[in-house]
Amino acid sequence: MDWSQFGIFLISVGGMFLWSRSESRSDHRALESWTKDMLSSIQAEIKDFHGRLCALEEKNKNKDKKEK
């Protein structure tokens, strides 16, 4: 193997390394955006569930008071 082949090999490896890093950053940004969206929807669902649970507890409290 002569030096030109070795140089082409190094340039190829370096190019693939840089391309891989840029794709990784792009994927990380997309994943971060998706994670924020997912967390906000989970928080909204928790608030909704909590509201429904409180309404059920209040309903059951009033039911128990009427029975006594």
Say what the pLDDT of residue 27 is: 87
DSSP character at residue 2: -
In our burial notation (b when 16+ CB lie closer than 10 A, e otherwise), range 29-57 reads: eeeeeeeeeeeeeeeeeeeeeeeeeeeee
DSSP character at residue 68: -
Q: Residue 44's pLDDT band (boundaries 50, 70, 90)?
A: very high
What is the DSSP annotation of 41-55? HHHHHHHHHHHHHHH
The predicted-structure confidence for 3-29, as pLDDT tens digits, reads as follows: 999 999 999 999 999 999 999 988 888
Q: Residue 46's pLDDT band (boundaries 50, 70, 90)?
A: very high
Whole-model pTM?
A: 0.49
